[in-house]
Amino acid sequence: MKTFKLVALTLLHEQKQDIPLIDGLIINKEDENKQWLIEAYVEQTYRELFTSLKESGATFDALVTISRKTNDPAHVRATVRSITIMSERMSVLMDATLVKRSNLAEVVLEDLVHRGLHGETLLQQFKEHMHTKRG
């Protein structure tokens, strides 16, 4: 197993949502199923979102960035395993599977099209998202 610092988390569930991290870890289990364990330490303002995902058992797509914010994010498919409340903050533990490595541009474009964007608006949002994700 290998452990890395999680520096960015973006949920691609219903709508794209960047989750500001207080701290985070991501563990590559190095198994044949490409499984990862993600711990995100976040403000409780996200309690309803993660509780809903946990209770529904929903699988959701996410982009996770490890080590440095300038690294390209990895695309994972995740479920919430547990939520631990700690004062005003909480720890969210997620099981994830690495999705076949795809081009970051494809992931961003697919998300924007799925959200119904097209034409000039699609182009503007695509440029903005690519600039944000690449530093």
The verdict on 43 and 17 lying in the same domain is yes
62-119 confidence digits (pLDDT tens): 999 999 988 888 889 999 999 999 988 999 999 999 886 556 677 778 778 888 888 9
The verdict on 52 and 80 lying in the same domain is yes
109-125 confidence digits (pLDDT tens): 877 888 888 899 888 88
The verdict on 90 and 117 lying in the same domain is no
Cβ of 135: how many Cβ atoms within 10 Å? 9
- Which residues constitute the domain of residue 29? 2-101
| The pair of three-digit structure tokens given for residue 13, joined into one six-digit string | 């569930």
Quote the pLDDT of residue 7: 97
The verdict on 59 and 108 lying in the same domain is no
Query: What would the DSSP string read from start to end of 27-40?
Result: EE---TT-EEEEEE
Q: Where in the chain does DSSP place strands (E)?
A: 2-13, 15-19, 23-28, 35-43, 60-66, 74-86, 89-98
The verdict on 92 and 56 lying in the same domain is yes
What letter represents residue 111's amino acid? D
pTM of the shown model: 0.74
The verdict on 96 and 107 lying in the same domain is no
